[in-house]
Amino acid sequence: MKIRELSDSTRTAQEAADAVGAELGQIVKSLVFMDGDGAVLCLCAGDRRVDTSKLGDGIRQAKADEVREATGFAVGGVPPLGHDRPVRTVVDESLRRFETLWCAGGTPHAVFPVATEALIDALSNAQVRDVT
């Protein structure tokens, strides 16, 4: 896996897709939510929106400081793995439409490509299900 540092921001899924020449859906949005048990990282395709009711009861989007606390990364650069501590992770099954995905690499200017199934395999405790 090779991280690409880009001069343009990849803070949004559309910016990332434009920067790497990928389809919007190939961009993985690493979104952090909170519930009574703590943080939940949801990996969602760039062309989809998470339906929080499918994530569970009492779930809300995390605040910026909660995102950093849970993952060690700032909003806009949260990678799907490599966090400071384990984070419950849910992967939206729509990502399986693509052979290759593009993920944030730790900053708003860094991304990396990964084979979809290799990413899912690397997330050993992740749930893969419909959340959009």
Q: What are phi and psi of 94, to 5 degrees?
A: -65, -20
Q: What is the mean pLDDT of residues 93-112?
A: 93
- Rounded Cα distance between 118 and 32, Å, is 21
Bridge partner residues of 4 (DSSP):
111
Terminal-residue alpha carbon distance, the chain: 27
Q: What is the mean pLDDT of residues 74-93?
A: 93
Residue 25 sits in a domain of what CATH number? 3.90.960.10
Higher confidence at residue 110 or residue 93?
93
pLDDT tens digits for 56-77?
A: 999 999 999 999 999 999 998 8
Domain count, the chain: 1
**Is the pTM of the predicted complex or chain greater than 0.85?**
yes
pLDDT category at 7 given cuts 50, 70, 90 is: confident
Domain containing residue 101: 4-129
